[in-house]
Structure 1
Amino acid sequence: MAAKIKKGDKVVVLTGRDKGKEGEVIEVRPAEDRIVVRGVNVVKRHQRPSMTTQGGIVEKEAPVSVSNVAHLDPKDNKPTRVGFKTLDDGRKVRYAKRSGEVIDA
């Protein structure tokens, strides 16, 4: 199955404690059906000091399920579903079903 959400996409959270928050996808984990979004689902982790990093309590983003986020329409910044279509030159691109706008440049 082709990926409907990719690294760098703008998404909005639909459910959970971060409902309504928007952010950029910074990591995609297709095997787990999860993504990491900047500023969303931030958790505190106790970090042991190492040669490169200082120890302490570190805040970092935890993965959220792909089913709990929706792509943001490039036209009006509202949640949309993503579809695929083939352009005249033969390229397969993602598009926002809400406005018909092509997501992949």
Structure 2
Amino acid sequence: MSMRIKTGDRVYVLSGKDRGKEGKVLRRNVGKDLIVVENVNMVTKSVKPTQKNPKGGLVKQEAALHACKVMLVCPSCGKPTRIGRAFLDNGRKVRVCKKCGEVVDKV
């Protein structure tokens, strides 16, 4: 099953400790259905000293979420929505908002 969420999309978190938060998708791993959302699921990681960071220490960074725990936020209506598929006149397949019917992908 292909992932319906793409890098750069705005998503709403449905479950977990960050339920109710919104953020932009930074990265995605299609093979494992994982996504990384900006400022969501923050974890503290211990980092060894390097030339760039001579002190090392603790760094806060985003961890991956499963794609089923988020829902796309429609750019036109601004609500979390399910995603449908539609074909344009030129034969191109696009993502469509199930609530308002607008095309989510930039044409």
Q: Is TM (by shorter chain) over 0.5?
A: yes
Gap change, CA 1:22 and 1:81, over 3 Å in 2:
same
3-state SS of paired residue (1:12)? strand
Query: 1:5 Cα shift?
Result: 0.3
Contact 2:2 2:30 in 1 (8 A): no
Aligned residue pair count: 105
Query: 1:51 Cα shift?
Result: 2.1
Say whether 1:67 aligns with 2:75: no
Runs of 5+ unmatched residues, structure 2: none
3-state SS of paired residue (1:74)? coil
After TM superposition, the structure 1 stretch with the greater mean CA deviation from structure 2, 75-84 or 5-14, is 75-84
Q: List 4+ stretches of structure 1 deviating above 4 A.
A: none
Counterpart in the other structure of 2:39: 39
User: Equivalent residues in 2 for 1:11-90 (5 A)?
Assistant: 11-54=11-54, 55-90=56-91
Provide, for residues 58-97 of structure 1, a one-character-per-residue CA deviation record: whole Å limited to 9, x for no partner. Answer: 0000000100000001222111011111100111111111
Distance in 2 (CA, whole Å) between partners of 1:76 and 1:92 is 21
Distance in 2 (CA, whole Å) between partners of 1:77 and 1:15 is 19
Query: 1:2 Cα shift?
Result: 3.5
AA aligned to 1:15 is S
Provide, for residues 37-58 of structure 1, a one-character-per-residue CA deviation record: whole Å limited to 9, x for no partner. Answer: 0000000001111122341100
AA aligned to 1:11 is V
3-state SS of paired residue (1:67)? helix
Contact 2:3 2:33 in 1 (8 A): no
Counterpart in the other structure of 1:8: 8
3-state SS of paired residue (2:24)? strand
Percent pairwise identity = 45
